[in-house]
Amino acid sequence: MENQIVIESPDGSFLAYISRPAKLPAPTVVVLHEVFGVNMDMRATCDELAAHGSIAVCPDLFWRQEPGVDLNAWSDAEWKKGLALYAAYDRDKGVRDIADTAHAASQLQGASGKVGLMGFCLGGLMAFLTAARETIDCAVAYHGGDTEKYLNEAGNITAPMLMHLAEEDEFISKEAQASIKAAFSNKPKVAIYNYPGCKHAFARHRGTHYNAAAAAKANQRSWQFLADHLS
């Protein structure tokens, strides 16, 4: 299919959604999905990034468990399925899959060679872990769940990184958010923004806690950050 590419890894191959900008060459942004897989929201995010001048690639992070996961965020049954996939997800292998995606993305026809990451929830955590363990040009993390459990790796971050945290996040406590900020306080290349009154996934299109004003502010910051560090 025109909007899919195949990523090869030592353990097998998996698909990724791709959205291309009107003008090439262009940098690439690897978009890392939530527990719902490569769904309508992630495809819309890729299309927005393409509209802002990037090649956007969203790999199927759950391919080792169940290829082709595409869940919605308003069905209780699909929430439960997503959470089960999340609980069983191998984050170490996931970092390698993301690194393989980033390498493949840098070699795409029309790609400039610069590659950034943008992740949401699970994907936000994986953006952080990949930036800590692999070479990447920059990373953006929206409300990365469980980030506070890996702060011993914060010292490994050398690339520019942008984090968005919702102050009223029901999955990332205020204590966890304080720990994240403290861990990066001596990292001038890491910027962390808080969004008062917002809950988890405040920037998810049509999400239950979608906050249009906060989402617009966060997204504008992300697009500018990517432009600054991938140009």
Q: Which domains does the chain have, with CATH numbers?
A: 4-230 (3.40.50.1820)
Q: Is 70 a known active-site residue?
A: no
* Sign of the CA dihedral with 202 first, then 205, 211, and 216 last: positive
| Averaged pLDDT, 80-96 | 97
pLDDT at site 59? 98
Summary mean pLDDT of the chain: 96
Percent of the chain's residues with pLDDT above 90? 94
| Averaged pLDDT, 180-202 | 96
Please answer whether residues 73 and 208 qualify as being in contact, where contact means their C-beta atoms are separated by less than 8 angstroms. Answer: yes
Using DSSP's 3-state secondary structure scheme, residue 188 falls into coil
| Averaged pLDDT, 188-197 | 97
206 vs 70, which has greater pLDDT? 70
Options 169, 205, 209, 229, the catalytic residue: 169
Backbone angles phi, psi at 175, to 5 degrees: -65, -45
| Averaged pLDDT, 108-121 | 97
* Per-residue pLDDT tens digits for 44-65: 999 999 999 999 999 999 999 9
Options 33, 164, 200, 229, the catalytic residue: 200
Distance CA 195, CA 218 (A): 9
